[in-house]
Structure 1
Amino acid sequence: MDIKYYVLFFGFFFCGYLAIYEHKPQKVPNEGVYLIMDKKETEFNINYTIKAGQQKVILITNKETTYRIGDQLLVSGKFERINTPKVPLNFDYQLYLKSKGIQYQIKTKDHAYVQTPLSVYKINQQIKTYIDSLEMDNTDLMNSLILASSDFDSDFAFEINSLGISHLFAVSGLHIGLFTAFLSFSLGFIPKRSKEVLIALCLILYYAITQFKVTIFRAVFCTIVKKHQKTYTNLDVLSISFIITLLVRPLVFVQVGFVFSYLLVFVFTIMNNHNGFKGMFYQSFVAQLVVLPFVLSMNEQINLLSLVVTPFFIVLFSYFILPLAFIGLLPVVKSSVDFYLSLFKQLINGTSRTGPLVEVSVFGLFFGALFYAGLIYVFYTRVTLKRLKRLVVFVLILGMYQIYPYVSISGTVYFLDVGQGDTSMIIRPFNQCNVVIDSFGGVADFIRNKRIHRIDYLIVTHGDLDHYQKVNDVLKTAAVSHLVLSKYDQSDFAKSMQYDKRLMLVEEGDKLLCADIVLEILSPFEQTQSLNDSSIVFQTRIDDLTYLFTGDIEENTEQRLVKKYQGALKSDVLKVPHHGSISSSTVEFIDAVNPTYAIVSSGHHNKFNHPHDEVIKRYMSKQIIIYQTNIDHTICFQTIWYSRKHRIK
């Protein structure tokens, strides 16, 4: 049977498999011996990826631990399911970890070194230690090109992302091809059949030493199969490896490296009739367009100069830099190699700073499909004039994508899932008015991904860290017209902002106008001893619903609000005070507001036990519909444009 029929059969089988697939994590014992697979340092901790059998977990330790990759540890404690905040359009870290087979984490002091057995992880660490011992300025580049490491500093990572060449630094077909050529030359004295078997074994060992990276599997698999089954086309072999990868790891498609690897090889495979340097430049240009949506998903901007220079970088990298990295393993030439690698880095740095950066936000599913349909439409013809005309149409479509936020006819109110903190956002139709209430978690990324460039009011209800932590990020992300704080907020944060020209201090009785809505400030009334009770409380009517935002007010302020406003407090949607704390949400206050919906913002398994069970019972006893960000994640009230009625997503 022709290989294509096998591919078709497995394709249908795979679709059915994905339709019923649900990854159920294995139960993790409270104590066990684990092998360290990976190590990442964060600002406050060291995170080790550890493994026992097929179960992978993250061990979170303090900065003082000195374990190395390949060490075995005895770990005991309570393992918890990883549950990270989920904000629309933002990077889903939980899903990313799940795609790597990691669903649990443990933060414990009960861990101890056992031994360092022989393993591929130990070999990887020893090679890395050897490269580091060469004392070169570019060991990070050497580790990346030889061991598929990604320990670049943030500036260099940003530069290669903005130029759209980050895929070059992941071990892939180029590396495997070079490695195979070296092995073939070195083993030229033995019989052909034996040589091919040895090369295959060496490639499999290399795949293991580089910690079973998906991109390396593709390259190794395709190389071995093509050497032993010459009747298969490159596209056949690529398709088989793609299906095998997804069968073994169904969630791997969320990893950008996997998408880059297969998408780029697919483009080069179907364009293999373009030979020579000119053909390589043309292929590189088309490949760059193909991966553009994924480059934008990482960087939200593109360097226009990259459209011209990236093909040059690909040629330079393929024929010079990559071989140079392997030659650099020889101590006798390390100085010369280090010099040329430094020149290469300087070239990347200079190019990334020279070209104009254009901010283009992440493509959604619809515009992503439209982008690829347009790309196929442009390149489907070989007639140059037709291609140019189609290119004009394609560019116009992309232009429509850029102005989309300004023609959006639906208004929305978001209560973002930011963990144990608070962030809400009001977005009016046609981008007329944008209001951010408190700033925590992934709010800046959300604003960027929504393509919002102007914030009319950034309201910080009070100076607790879980309400203002990301204020500076928001100020850098969008042009903020007014920074609104409580007139009676005496926190360190409020003092740090007192000279900001955008500062606006408000108290009870003030009104903020924004397009077609009015934010009526109901509190604070006066200076109080409690920072929570100095929170800004405001009410606003948006289309068919009235919203009441309450910050972290407690019982005293609730009583004053009820006494002063009585029935005027009536609102359809209540942002529950203080994350559902027992010190707030008195029965009298709930009765006065009498909401249809109550929104609680709190983190998963937070140390404050928010929201309190008694508070939830109070709302439920009034038949109020409760949404919790730690359960329901981000809650969105959206206006249906043709009826001006709302729907909840």
Structure 2
Amino acid sequence: MINIKRLFCVASISYIIGIIMRLYFGSIAFLSIPIAIIILLITKNKKIIVILICLIISIGYVSILENKYSKISDMPIKEMVTIISDIQEKEYKKVCTAKIVRNNKKILINIKMSQDIPSIKYGDSLYIEGEFKQPEEARNYKGYNYKQYLKTKKIIGTVELEKAKILKSSNGSFIHNIQKYIKDTINGTLTDEEGNLLLAILLGDKDKLSEDIQESFKTSNLSHMLAVSGAHVSYIILGLTYVLQNSIIGKKNGKIVCMIFLLIFMAITNFTPSVTRACITAILTLFSSIIYRKSDVYTNISVAALITLIFNPYSLLDLGFQLSYGGTIGIIIFIKRIQEKKSNSKVINYIKQMALVSIYANIIIIPIMMYHFNTVSFTFIISNIMASPILGIIVITGFLFIIASITVKPLTRLIAIFIKPILSILIKISQICSKLPFSNILVVTPYMFNVISYYAIILYCIKSRKNNKCKIIICLLIVLILINFIIYIFPQKLRIFFIDVGQGDSTLIITPDKKTVLIDGGGSDSFDVGEKVLLPYLLDRRILKIDYVLISHFDTDHCGGILTIMEKVKVKNIIISEQAEHSENYERFKKLMIHKKIRLIEVKKGDKIKIGRYSEFKILFPTSRLLSENPLNNNSIVAQFNYNNFKMLFTGDIEKLAEQQILKTEKAEIRADILKVAHHGSKTSSIPEFIKAVRPKIALIGVGKNNTFGHPNQQTIKNLENIKCRIYRTDLQGEIIIKIDQKGRMNVKSKLKIK
């Protein structure tokens, strides 16, 4: 007979494996269903039956959902909807979530600030007209996948609102009114910084919490405090139990009240995965004590996971889900070791327990942090020991503050006087710990097989009782290191990655002998492309050191990202040309170069730079006589990258004048297999004579989607089409990946397919 306690563990693990199979192996996973059904009909093993049923259900369920999402397309929309979120004000627009009345599907509505739209609020029924758009997928390798993120929220897409008419106004639901009351009470009593932090701690609502505070909590490894988790729920139960245990309702009824409160609390926090996990496990524990049964923590956490994933399988991709369950599993696995390490001193005992809880939770979540954030912290023990007792005080006092606002409102002022300095202390701890050495070490994204191997070794350590366990683990680690070394030294083709950095240019080259070259880095005045796009991209490509950076010129859309990379990543050499005029970007570059002790290579026409054994840059422009007309663009470096018989021409932002100058002296030299089209395909560049002289097989255009500059110009496209070259654009196809073998044969792929 199968153990009922382990039944839910087996079921949840099988269900999760089925989701992963369908999401990452597509239709191949779906084809495994008939095989599973055949085995199901043959076997009598109950555990195998449970595994196969859960696999079939999860693969089938996700297949149905994926099929539904695949049928969604951009189109005009006219629907009746109900607003199911508060209206959030962003920089240029207002955003809210709505549910379509006709099919119950959720959409995200974008409202321009300039639009004359009636004032809408939570619960209102509307008739809307607008343009429905599919969410963006990742535009670069392992880039941010907005579509995947919205799936974790069960949102099918966005609507750019054009018209809206209120059909029925609403006063909101019971739960929403509680949320609103809590927010209004806290914001009306505390300052913005303290009030928004308290809302994040109590409800997990980080919408108005400043980016600086969120970043300091993240860097100091205290992000879990801003996502309601087991610690928060335990403090809630502790507070309620203390109040109710001496009341007239009795212990049993007190536990039932706790369970009801936790259900309401889940709804108030919008059923986020971390809250759902913590509350369901707490409810099951309370229920077990009511019916006088021993609670099994593995069963409780398995049931919580199953409920969450049955409701929405894409919750598995939610970072909060992964960190919440990962950290909890780490603590559960090593709980006996935590309980064994006891001391006579209560203070020492507390410090030991807090340190061990942090260590054991991080044993499981470190690979998750490395994979998603590319960071490792070695100061998490210090930050958690300092902050954990304060969190307990804040949670309990915060809920007393809310209760007082309902029962004895004048008391809230007194509680606010007490809680304000505690919130300030917590902010200060996060800021101090975020600046400690080794608090935020950058690491490359680990290979998935390394992550799996890591967890396999952890599992072996826990389960194995062999005396020679240490020797076996060392052998496994050596094998893992050797596999990674073989992957690194394994010969590869020349690889060129034309990165989608929006309205800008950036190209990464990795040569067969592992030399890394970065040509330009994109940039924007309103968005940190280096921090948000380029740095994560390089770390995802497992690059922490760049051998050569070439900055074509110092326009922000070419050098902005590079300046961030210079601060964060080891750069050995930087190639620039003489500057016709000095800009703010150039001055900042010089300071960074001196501070980071980077070798500067200043080039002009005729120079050659050897890149490893197989490749070189040949500089074709500018000459020693710089052009005075639009000097920043027209004196861009024009460089030919050569690898055996393969040639690629980089042209920066040169315009007609510079192209004519190059044709006079270098017409026979500028022939190339690939052309990085000048100035994003602007009408001021790419004259027919220049295009014909280059005669590229492939043209690459770095350009932002729906940009306001009209790039690329249709005449430029026509000039390229006239010579029958293949055109690739980052606005339509995202990142372009090109692999070249020793004979110069090219294989080209794009991240997105043109629809």
TM-score range, shorter chain: 0.7 to 0.9
Match of 2:61 among 17, 20, 27: 17
Matched, 1:95 2:148: yes
> What is the distance in 2 between the residues matched to 1:32 and 1:20?
25
> What is the distance in 2 between the residues matched to 1:534 and 1:166?
47
Q: Which residue of 2 aligns with 1:50?
A: 97
> What is the distance in 2 between the residues matched to 1:313 and 1:11?
44
> What is the distance in 2 between the residues matched to 1:415 and 1:262?
37
Asked whether the 8 Å contact 1:405–1:451 carries over to 2, the reply is no
Matched, 1:37 2:85: yes
Match of 1:260 among 319, 323, 328: 323
User: How far is the alpha carbon of 1:424 from its aligned partner?
Assistant: 0.9
Which segment is superposed worse, 387-396 or 628-637? 387-396
Per-residue Cα deviation, 1:563-596 (whole angstroms, up to 9, x for no partner)? 5333432211221233234444444433322222
Matches within 5 A, 1:52-201: 52-53=99-100, 54-59=105-110, 61-62=112-113, 70=122, 77-83=130-136, 86-102=139-155, 104-105=157-158, 117-119=171-173, 120-135=175-190, 138-150=194-206, 151-180=208-237, 182-183=239-240, 186=244, 189-190=248-249, 199-201=258-260
> What is the distance in 2 between the residues matched to 1:167 and 1:397?
34
Q: Which residue of 1 aligns with 2:737?
A: 636
Q: Which residue of 2 aligns with 1:513?
A: 610
User: How far is the alpha carbon of 1:283 from its aligned partner?
Assistant: 4.8
Matched, 1:250 2:313: yes
Q: Which residue of 2 aligns with 1:326?
A: 399
User: How far is the alpha carbon of 1:635 from its aligned partner?
Assistant: 1.7
Matches within 5 A, 1:391-430: 407=489, 409-410=491-492, 411-429=494-512
Which segment is superposed worse, 81-90 or 165-174? 81-90
Per-residue Cα deviation, 1:476-534 (whole angstroms, up to 9, x for no partner)? 12244554445465474566468555665544333333333321122235415245443
Q: Secondary structure of the equivalent of 1:138?
A: helix
Per-residue Cα deviation, 1:252-285 (whole angstroms, up to 9, x for no partner)? 3332111111222333444454564738554542
Task: Provide the aligned C-alpha RMSD in A.
Answer: 4.3
Which segment is superposed worse, 536-545 or 342-351? 342-351
> What is the distance in 2 between the residues matched to 1:646 and 1:226?
61
Asked whether the 8 Å contact 2:142–2:540 carries over to 1, the reply is yes
> What is the distance in 2 between the residues matched to 1:223 and 1:251?
24
Q: Secondary structure of the equivalent of 1:291?
A: helix
Which segment is superposed worse, 82-91 or 496-505? 496-505
Asked whether the 8 Å contact 2:222–2:384 carries over to 1, the reply is no
Matches within 5 A, 1:441-480: 441=529, 442-480=533-571
Asked whether the 8 Å contact 2:220–2:431 carries over to 1, the reply is no
> What is the distance in 1 between the residues matched to 2:79 and 2:227?
35
Q: Secondary structure of the equivalent of 2:313?
A: coil
Q: Which residue of 2 aligns with 1:527?
A: 627
> What is the distance in 1 between the residues matched to 2:690 and 2:129?
46
User: How far is the alpha carbon of 1:102 from its aligned partner?
Assistant: 4.2
> What is the distance in 2 between the residues matched to 1:607 and 1:416?
20
Which segment is superposed worse, 209-218 or 6-15? 6-15
Q: Taking structure 1 as reference, are residues 598 and 248 closer, same or farther at Cα in structure 2, changes over 3 Å only?
A: farther
Asked whether the 8 Å contact 2:137–2:144 carries over to 1, the reply is no
What letter corresponds to residue 509 of structure 1 in structure 2? G
Q: Which residue of 2 aligns with 1:570?
A: 671
Asked whether the 8 Å contact 2:107–2:159 carries over to 1, the reply is no
User: How far is the alpha carbon of 1:365 from its aligned partner?
Assistant: 1.7
Ranges in structure 2 where 5+ consecutive residues have no aligned partner: 13-50, 343-352, 405-411, 524-528, 750-755
Q: Which residue of 1 aligns with 2:270?
A: 211
What letter corresponds to residue 609 of structure 2 in structure 1? L
Per-residue Cα deviation, 1:267-304 (whole angstroms, up to 9, x for no partner)? 34444545647385545422211100222345533332
> What is the distance in 2 between the residues matched to 1:223 and 1:13?
27
Q: Secondary structure of the equivalent of 2:557?
A: helix
> What is the distance in 1 between the residues matched to 2:272 and 2:415?
29
User: How far is the alpha carbon of 1:549 from its aligned partner?
Assistant: 1.1
Q: Taking structure 1 as reference, are residues 344 and 277 closer, same or farther at Cα in structure 2, changes over 3 Å only?
A: farther
Q: Taking structure 1 as reference, are residues 616 and 513 closer, same or farther at Cα in structure 2, changes over 3 Å only?
A: same
Asked whether the 8 Å contact 1:146–1:325 carries over to 2, the reply is yes
Which segment is superposed worse, 241-250 or 593-602? 241-250
User: How far is the alpha carbon of 1:166 from its aligned partner?
Assistant: 1.9
> What is the distance in 2 between the residues matched to 1:117 and 1:322?
29
Matches within 5 A, 1:454-603: 454-487=545-578, 489-490=580-581, 492-493=583-584, 496=587, 506-516=603-613, 517-524=615-622, 526-530=626-630, 531-543=632-644, 545-603=646-704
Asked whether the 8 Å contact 1:463–1:489 carries over to 2, the reply is no
Q: Taking structure 1 as reference, are residues 646 and 544 closer, same or farther at Cα in structure 2, changes over 3 Å only?
A: farther
Match of 1:202 among 261, 273, 282: 261
Q: Taking structure 1 as reference, are residues 15 and 31 closer, same or farther at Cα in structure 2, changes over 3 Å only?
A: closer
Ranges in structure 1 where 5+ consecutive residues have no aligned partner: none
Q: Secondary structure of the equivalent of 1:142?
A: helix
Which segment is superposed worse, 266-275 or 386-395? 386-395
Q: Which residue of 1 aligns with 2:30?
A: none
Per-residue Cα deviation, 1:337-368 (whole angstroms, up to 9, x for no partner)? 33344444444444444453443233232322
> What is the distance in 1 between the residues matched to 2:665 and 2:79?
58
Q: Secondary structure of the equivalent of 2:399?
A: helix
What letter corresponds to residue 140 of structure 2 in structure 1? V
Which segment is superposed worse, 481-490 or 168-177? 481-490
> What is the distance in 1 between the residues matched to 2:386 and 2:487?
35
TM-score, normalised relative to structure 1: 0.83
Q: Secondary structure of the equivalent of 2:680?
A: helix
Q: Which residue of 1 aligns with 2:39?
A: none
User: How far is the alpha carbon of 1:328 from its aligned partner?
Assistant: 4.6
Q: Taking structure 1 as reference, are residues 542 and 103 closer, same or farther at Cα in structure 2, changes over 3 Å only?
A: farther
> What is the distance in 2 between the residues matched to 1:268 and 1:40?
37
User: How far is the alpha carbon of 1:434 from its aligned partner?
Assistant: 2.7
Asked whether the 8 Å contact 1:80–1:105 carries over to 2, the reply is yes
> What is the distance in 2 between the residues matched to 1:181 and 1:73?
41
What letter corresponds to residue 699 of structure 2 in structure 1? A
Q: Which residue of 1 aligns with 2:359?
A: 285
TM-score, normalised relative to structure 2: 0.73
> What is the distance in 2 between the residues matched to 1:142 and 1:548?
55
Q: Which residue of 1 aligns with 2:347?
A: none
Q: Taking structure 1 as reference, are residues 258 and 424 closer, same or farther at Cα in structure 2, changes over 3 Å only?
A: same
Per-residue Cα deviation, 1:3-31 (whole angstroms, up to 9, x for no partner)? 44765323431133335542244867357
User: How far is the alpha carbon of 1:644 from its aligned partner?
Assistant: 8.8
User: How far is the alpha carbon of 1:382 from its aligned partner?
Assistant: 5.5
Q: Which residue of 2 aligns with 1:371?
A: 454
Aligned residues: 645
User: How far is the alpha carbon of 1:425 from its aligned partner?
Assistant: 1.6
Q: Taking structure 1 as reference, are residues 233 and 407 closer, same or farther at Cα in structure 2, changes over 3 Å only?
A: same
Q: Taking structure 1 as reference, are residues 62 and 397 closer, same or farther at Cα in structure 2, changes over 3 Å only?
A: farther
Matched, 1:241 2:275: no
Which segment is superposed worse, 497-506 or 44-53? 497-506
Bigger relative contact order (CA 8 A; separation at least 6): 1
> What is the distance in 2 between the residues matched to 1:486 and 1:342?
49
> What is the distance in 2 between the residues matched to 1:168 and 1:18?
32
User: How far is the alpha carbon of 1:144 from its aligned partner?
Assistant: 1.8
